[in-house]
Homo-oligomer: A and B are copies of this chain.
Amino acid sequence: MISAGFSSETMSNPRAERVREVAHLATRGGRAKLDQFLAEGPQAVREALKLHAARAAADQDPVVAAVYATEHALERYPEFIDLVAAIPHLFARIVTDEVLAAMADTVTPQGIVAVCYLPQTTLAEVLELEPKLVAVLCRIQDPGNAGTILRAADAAGADALILTSGSVDIYNPKAVRSTVGSLFHLPIVTGVDFEEAVESLRAAGHSVLAADGYGDRNLDDFQDASTRRRLGESTDPDSGAAIRLEDPTAWLFGNEGAGLTPEELSAADERVAVPLYGVAESLNVGTAATVCMYASARAQRGNRDK
C-alpha cells in the first residue's frame, strides 16, 4: 500500500467495465452520458485536485470523481499521494500500465489521470462574480486553438471564458491537454447562445470588443489612450477612444477560418485590429487573442494599481 488515499487494491483488468467507461470519455457521447471528462498527466491532475480541495473547503461542488495512477507514476510524482490523501472520500486507485493505457487518450499520459465532472457553470453565475475581463470564443473549431486561448486568458488574468454554441468541445482530450491545467483556473461556460452572451455582458457593464483583422480601430490607439490616462497626461477622460481598455471588457474571438460573422461584428461596440507591423496578412487567432487580452490586462491592472 502506497498511501491512505489510494486503495491498496491494484486494478489490473484493462477490459473491466470501469476502464471502458473512462476510455469512453474520449468521445463527446461518452462525456455527455456520464457528465464527466478526463484530465491526463500530472499537471492537469494536480490543478484538478487543487481546485477540488479549494471547492470542498468552501462547501462547493466536487471537481474530481476519481484518480487513477500507476505505481511508477506515484514514485515519480510522490506529491500526489499527499494531495489525494488530503481529500476525504476521493475514489483513488492504483492501476497497471495496461489499464492506464486503456483509459487514456494520450500515447504517453505519464501514468496519472483524473475523471472530472463537467462543470455546469452558467453565464448568470459568472456575471454574479463581476468579471472584469472575459474571452468569448465564437465557433472556434480547433481544440489546440481553444486550449491556447484559454491558457493565454488564464495568464492574462481573465475572469471567465465563454464558448458559444458551435464551438469545439473544450473537454475533448486534445483541448484538455493543450490547456495544461488552465481548465481548472477560471470559470468556463459552454454552449452559450451568441446574442445572449453579448446582451448579458453589455447589461453587466462590459465593453464588447470584436478582435477583427479588418477592424477600423487599432488596438495600439486604445492602449495609448489608456496609458495616457494612467500616467495622468490626459485631462480628457475619453481621449482617443470612447471605449476604455481599463473598463470591464469582453473580447470576441472568431472562427479560425472565417473570422467573426457580419452579425457577430455588428453586435460588438468596436471592431479592433491587432496591428500588423510586418508582411503577415493575418494573425493566428491564438496570437491575436494573446495580444488583445494582455493589452486589456495591462490597462486594467496598471490602472487598478494607481
Q: Are A283 and B231 also in contact (CB < 8 A) when A291-B290, A291-B294, A297-B277 are?
A: no
Q: Are A287 and B284 in contact (CB under 8 A)?
A: no
Query: For the complex, what is the distance from the CA of A223 to the CA of B181, rounded to whole Å?
Result: 29
Q: Are A277 and B220 also in contact (CB < 8 A) when A231-B233, A284-B148, A287-B152 are?
A: no
A302 contacts B by Cβ under 8 Å: yes
* The one of B148, B180, B275, B291 that contacts A291, using a Cβ cutoff of 8 Å: B291
Q: Which of A145-163 contact B (CB under 8 A)?
A: 148, 151-158
Q: Are A155 and B280 in contact (CB under 8 A)?
A: yes
Q: Are A277 and B155 also in contact (CB < 8 A) when A220-B298, A284-B148 are?
A: yes
Q: Are A278 and B158 also in contact (CB < 8 A) when A148-B287, A298-B223 are?
A: yes
A143 contacts B by Cβ under 8 Å: no
Chain B residues within 8 Å of A154, by CB: 278-280
Q: For residue A276, give the distance in angstroms from its CB to the closest CB of chain B.
A: 5
Q: Are B298 and A151 in contact (CB under 8 A)?
A: no
Q: For residue A68, give the distance in angstroms from its CB to the closest CB of chain B.
A: 24
Q: Which of A180-222 contact B (CB under 8 A)?
A: 180-182, 185-186, 220
Chain B residues within 8 Å of A227, by CB: 227, 231
A286 contacts B by Cβ under 8 Å: yes
Q: Are B156 and A279 in contact (CB under 8 A)?
A: no
With CB as the reference atom, state the residue of chain B lying closest to A179: B280
Query: For the complex, what is the distance from the CA of A152 to the CA of B148, rounded to whole Å?
Result: 14
Q: Are B220 and A283 in contact (CB under 8 A)?
A: no
A72 contacts B by Cβ under 8 Å: no
Chain B residues within 8 Å of A274, by CB: 155
A228 contacts B by Cβ under 8 Å: yes
Chain B residues within 8 Å of A224, by CB: 302
Q: Are B186 and A279 in contact (CB under 8 A)?
A: yes
Q: For residue A12, give the distance in angstroms from its CB to the closest CB of chain B.
A: 32
List 9 tightest A-B contacts by C-beta distance, closest first. Answer: A157-B277, A185-B279, A157-B278, A154-B280, A155-B280, A154-B278, A277-B297, A290-B290, A287-B290
Sampled A-B contacts (14; CB under 8 Å): A153-B278, A154-B278, A154-B279, A155-B280, A155-B287, A156-B277, A181-B281, A185-B280, A220-B298, A277-B297, A287-B287, A287-B290, A290-B290, A291-B291
